[in-house]
Amino acid sequence: MLKTAEPIEDYRATLGAIGLVVVIGALLRFYDLGSDSLWLDEAVSWTEAKDSLADLVWRSADDSVPHPPLFNLSLFAAIKLFGDSEWDLRLPSAIFGVANILALYWLGTMTVGRTAGLLGAVLLALSPFHLSYSQEARMYSLLSLTATLYAATCFRYLRTPSLWCGTWVSLAGLALVYSHPYGALNWIAIVVAITVFFLLPAARSPPKTMLVWATSNVIVAAGFMPWALILAGRAQIIAARGFWTPTLTAAFARAEVQAVAGGRLLAPVILIGVVLGVVGRLRRDVGVLCVWIVAPVAIVIVASILSTPVFISRYAIGSLPPLLLLSAFGWTKYAKDRRGVVLSSAVVAIAVLRLVLHNPYQNVKDDWRGVASYLDEREQAADCVLVVPPWLAIPLNYYRRTSSCQWGALKTADLPAEMPASVLFGIFQVTAADLAAFTEELGRRGWGERYQADFRGIRVVAFSR
């Protein structure tokens, strides 16, 4: 029922090209995979996945934002098979990122065509945003992959409706909704768009096709219901207490969307391609891509305006694959023969230039490895560590798992009444005013500052009496 995309002239050359793109994408994602320290969120992932499966599920649900456990399950497997070094913990994300390149090409062959699918895969392989989150021990590259796979299995079902293809729709849908809380938004957007654009017209949708489609997605909804109830309960708490994301403003939203598209140099190129892709008669597959791009982000922005701000760029990574695929379609839509080669090469060249000149998402992780080494060299048996705010103990404990004396505090009133130690090492990631307040309070208690060091914004201050 879905029109087959037209193949390019040299099928073997295309397969060779996508193979090369996947190899390049893999080299970029595995290069220096373990060079940076884990930052707070990555250490949280390690904490949630490092013990038993029961602990994994409980900790995932008990997080401040209860993430579905699929990524933690992949992390659990990596830890058991390989260990828990930085490289090991980031391995699943890198694999998901590479697989996403191939999945996007597959989706392109069933929708906007092999040429556009190939260019879209190139843009994803070189995307600074996608590359960054393919090298982080968090669930964002998994969200992007599962969204792409779910859309691809849906279009596969449209081409060959069957119970078997419907089963794959259910499995891919369950993977999507259990990848990240925003996975449900991507699932809803894709389901609604495909139903409206392809399945609602009665002449195009035999009853059996509609029945299998509906059943497949009811299975997804039913399978996600237990976690949806957990998310709903946590959403009420977040609405009452607030969330950590910044207040949503037009400037902030524009900057975050620009970040997803690749920054100031690449974003205009991507957005121009999107405009070219939607100009003229709107194709049904393009309509699905448009809804998939816009709806999840729009829903979150509206929710942030009406209630609590919950929008940040990395949560929108599920909309990145259709954005790049639609842009690729726009750039190749009107270009034939040599013009197509020139235009496609120009788009790829800009993407490469953006990556080579500056990737703003690299080398921004906190240097907890440096903090731990600094303490290990100086801390004596009678010394203690003060961590401000207290949740910074999570990445610190990843690197220092045998610390015998450690306190945490959010404000000066949280400091212990008695602090017996020869030297107190304060680990601070706070504003200058808050640091001054803690220094003043410790001084009032007889602690004088001896020396301090900075590790990418983490301030280590040594105090003694």
pLDDT computed for residue 112 by the predictor: 95
For residues 456 and 443, what is the distance between their CA atoms, to the nearest angstrom? 25
Q: Is 69 helix (H, G, I), strand (E, B) or coil?
A: coil
Q: What percent of the chain has pLDDT over 70?
A: 90
What lies within 8 Å, CB to CB, of 370 at 6+ separation is 37, 455, 456
What lies within 8 Å, CB to CB, of 456 at 6+ separation is 364, 365, 366, 367, 370
Is a pLDDT exceeding 50 seen at residue 5?
A: no
pLDDT computed for residue 218 by the predictor: 98
Q: In terms of C-beta density within 10 A (0-12 exposed, 13-18 middle, 19 or more buried), how is residue 435 classed?
A: middle
> Average of pLDDT values for 376-380?
92
> Average of pLDDT values for 74-98?
97
pLDDT computed for residue 6 by the predictor: 45
Condensed to tens digits (0 to 9), the pLDDT of residues 135-184 reads 999 999 999 999 999 999 999 999 999 999 999 999 999 999 999 999 99
Q: Where are the domains of the chain?
A: 11-357, 368-464
pTM of the model: 0.92
For residues 28 and 270, what is the distance between their CA atoms, to the nearest angstrom? 21
Query: Which is more confident, 111 or 354?
Result: 111
- The one-character DSSP state at 459 is E
Q: Is 425 helix (H, G, I), strand (E, B) or coil?
A: strand
Angle between helices 320-333 and 250-261 (to 10 degrees): 70
